[in-house]
Amino acid sequence: MTVHNLVPLWRVQGLTARFGRGAQPVVKGISFQIDAGEAVGFVGESGCGKSVTARALMRLAPEGSSVELGGSVLFQGEELLQLGENAICDIRGRRIAMVFQDPMASLNPVMTVGAQIDDIVRRHTGVGALAARQRSISLLDQVGIRDAAQRANDYPHQFSGGMRQRVLIAMAVSCAPDLLIADEPTTALDVTVQAQILRLLMRLRHELGMALMLITHDFGVIAGMVERVYVMLDGEIVESGGVDAIFAIPQHSYTRALLDAVPRLHAPGERPS
């Protein structure tokens, strides 16, 4: 259930982002907001700027580059663009968490998954090693990993793709963030596992009362998942609105093209429209 406050959880106004001094902007003056407990979708083809927007908001630049941001990014009324690196690092993982599309690239291959979750819990909560490990086991169990106490001692390569994504989700929600950003969380998974991961995200969203920013190229993924949608093209938001309204009467030709690409089921003998 969406909790509407006078101050939005996240209010972004006129955000611009470029990676490297003098580079062309990859995010071009976008504005949006996310309320506490709300699920919002960002939809567009690869390269449209949706993932870059999320990384820019988290002040994460590609390796060897720097990010230059303009505009305003208010999180719970606090201007993130004015914070130093230590302060923004404290917010990442504790108040805002992110799940990336490639779990193997996000997990350390030479550390057990339990140790990786332990580190996050201890860094942001200050608890001891035993309490952190108990929390890690509880989180692995919460995201549906059986024999969690034993599996916490396993390494990422010992998990399937779907299980690795569950580990990443456990890490992301370890400190009960106010906002979870899920960046193409089902891209490399088969259809059955995709559905399981999406159901897990929805369940955790309701259990923890957190807001969800779901990034995807597929309108079919967000059906039933979010309340509002922002459609991105070439670093700009070209359409936004309630998910039901956009599915029913899309206004922009690009939105219509994305919707037309969603597979539809037809009754026997019925021809696709």
CA distance 196 to 175: 22
Confidence of residue 266 (pLDDT cuts 50, 70, 90): very low
Q: Is residue 61 in a domain?
A: yes
Q: Is residue 269 in a domain?
A: no
pLDDT, position 3: 47
* Average pLDDT of span 134-143: 96
Question: Which CATH number covers residue 223?
Answer: 3.40.50.300
Q: What is the pLDDT of residues 206-263, one digit of tens each?
A: 999 999 999 999 898 888 899 999 999 999 999 999 999 999 999 999 999 999 988 7
Q: Is residue 40 in a domain?
A: yes
H or E segment and range at residue 181: strand 179-183
Q: Is residue 38 in a domain?
A: yes
pLDDT, position 22: 76
Q: What is the Cβ-side half-sphere exposure of residue 43, based on CA atoms within 13 angstroms?
A: 29
Structure tokens belonging to residue 139: 């989180």
Could you report how far apart the first and last alpha carbons of the chain are, in Å?
34
Please report how the helices 129-142 and 113-125 are oriented relative to each other, as an axis angle in degrees rounded to 10.
120
Please count the structural domains in the chain. 1
Q: Is residue 218 in a domain?
A: yes
CA distance 51 to 182: 10
pLDDT, position 21: 76
Confidence of residue 95 (pLDDT cuts 50, 70, 90): very high
pLDDT, position 224: 85
* Average pLDDT of span 2-29: 82
Is it the case that residue 128 has pLDDT exceeding 50? Answer: yes
> What share of the chain has pLDDT > 90, as a percent?
66
Q: Is residue 267 in a domain?
A: no
pLDDT, position 211: 97
Q: What is the Cβ-side half-sphere exposure of residue 262, based on CA atoms within 13 angstroms?
A: 17
| pTM for this entry | 0.89
68 phi, psi to nearest 5 deg = -110, 120
The answer for residues whose C-beta is within 8 angstroms of residue 141's C-beta and 6 or more apart is: 148
Per the prediction, the chain carries an average pLDDT of 89
pLDDT, position 20: 75
Q: Is residue 147 in a domain?
A: yes
CA distance 76 to 6: 11
pLDDT, position 158: 96
The boundaries of the domain holding residue 76 are 10-260
Q: What is the pLDDT of residues 21-79, one digit of tens each?
A: 778 899 999 999 999 999 999 999 988 999 889 888 888 866 666 778 899 999 999 99
Burial (CB < 10 A; 0-12, 13-18, 19+), residue 88, is middle
Q: Is residue 177 in a domain?
A: yes
200 phi, psi to nearest 5 deg = -60, -45
Give the Å distances, CA to CA, from 37 to 3, 30, 165: 6, 22, 22
Q: Which string of DSSP letters, residue by residue, matches 121-163?
A: HHHHH---HHHHHHHHHHHHHHTT-SSHHHHTTS-GGGS-HHH
CA distance 2 to 228: 11
Is it the case that residue 111 has pLDDT exceeding 80? Answer: yes
